[in-house]
C-alpha cells in the first residue's frame, strides 16, 4: 500500500482544511488535489465511490445551489449521479482521502486518520 494519501481538497472548506492539518500533523505524505480546479473524471469518481463503498448519490452535497436547482427531487440512477458529479464538481462531498485501495470522507475531519492504520 502506498504511504501517500491523496486528498481531494477545497481550501475554502473548514473541514477540508482541518483534515489536511490532521494528516500533516500525523506526518503523512499528502498529495493535494484541488478538485474544483482539476475535477476528477467520471471514471475516477466511479472508482472513488467504489472505494468508499457508497452509492454515487451519497457523495452529493445536497446543500449546494446547483443541487437544489438542477437535481433535487430527481430520481437519477448511479450513472446519472456520476454524470452530475463529473459535470458539477462542486457537488462532490469533501474532503475525500484515499490511500491505496481505501478511501474515507473526512466528515468529521478525524475520519481521515483511519487511513493511517
d(C-alpha 79, C-alpha 23), whole Å: 32
SS3 16: helix
Residues in the chain: 117
CA distance 9 to 113: 15
Cα angle: 110, vertex 62, 17; to 5 degrees: 30
CA 17 to chain centre: 13
Half-sphere exposure of 24 (CA within 13 A, CB side): 9
Query: Catalytic residues, which ones?
Result: 13
Amino acid at each position: 500500500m502506498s504511504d501517500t494519501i491523496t486528498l481531494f481538497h477545497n481550501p475554502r472548506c473548514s473541514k477540508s482544511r482541518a483534515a489536511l492539518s490532521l494528516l500533516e500533523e500525523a506526518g503523512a505524505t499528502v498529495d493535494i488535489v484541488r478538485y474544483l480546479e482539476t475535477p476528477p473524471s467520471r471514471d475516477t469518481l466511479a472508482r472513488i465511490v467504489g472505494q468508499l463503498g457508497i452509492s454515487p448519490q451519497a457523495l452529493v452535497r445536497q446543500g449546494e445551489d446547483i443541487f437544489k436547482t438542477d437535481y433535487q427531487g430527481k430520481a437519477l440512477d448511479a450513472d446519472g449521479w456520476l454524470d452530475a458529479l463529473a459535470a458539477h464538481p462542486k457537488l462532490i462531498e469533501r474532503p475525500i482521502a484515499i490511500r491505496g485501495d481505501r478511501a474515507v470522507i473526512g466528515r468529521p475531519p478525524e475520519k481521515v486518520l483511519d487511513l493511517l492504520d
